[in-house]
Amino acid sequence: MLDRDEDILKAAEDWQKAGRGVALATVVETWGSAPRPAGSSLVINDEGTFLGSVSGGCVEGAVVTEAMDVIESGKPRMLEFGVADETAWNVGLSCGGTIRVFVEKVG
């Protein structure tokens, strides 16, 4: 299976050891019908390369952008995406669910 969590976490470690800035985004909470369960993760490096998913494609673009800031600042942050969000029409979840994603720097 592609993008199993072990590959994602392995990539996080490998990228960090290779000297890249790395962030890990993890789904920590879901409401309604969310595409990926809590615990699903996405790893992002400072070149914008990413592996894994937190939503099956709906909000990854926004998460990658936020992850760049987290790599820069080193401070973790919590993101929330859903239909109630103002940006829902731009980067919302088409399935109508809501998810919270924790983004942290690795290393």
Partner 1 sequence: MKLAILHELNAERAARRPVILVTDTESGEQRLVKAADFTKDPLRAELDKQLRMGKSGNVEAGGKKLFLNVYAPTAKLVIVGAVHISQALAPLARSLGYDVTVVDPRTAFASPERFPDIPLVAEWPDTALPPLNVDAYTAFVAVTHDPKIDDPALLHAFERNCFYIGALGSRKTHAKRGDRLRAQGARDTDIARIHAPIGLAIGAVSPSEIAVSIMAEITAVLRLPPKEKEEAA
Name which of 6 and 89 has its Cβ closer to partner 1: 6
CA dist 25 and 9 (Å) reads 11
- Residues of this chain that interact with partner 1 (CB under 8 A) are 5-6, 9-10, 12-13, 16-17, 24, 26, 28-29, 37-39, 75-76, 78, 102, 104-107
Name which of 6 and 86 has its Cβ closer to partner 1: 6
Q: Minimal distance in Å, beta carbon 46 to partner 1? A: 15
Q: Minimal distance in Å, beta carbon 18 to partner 1? A: 12
Helix (H) or strand (E) holding 45: strand 41-45
Strands 77-82 and 22-31: unpaired
The torsion region of residue 87 among left (phi > 0), alpha (psi -120 to 50) and beta comes to: alpha
Q: Minimal distance in Å, beta carbon 98 to partner 1? A: 14
Helix (H) or strand (E) holding 32: none
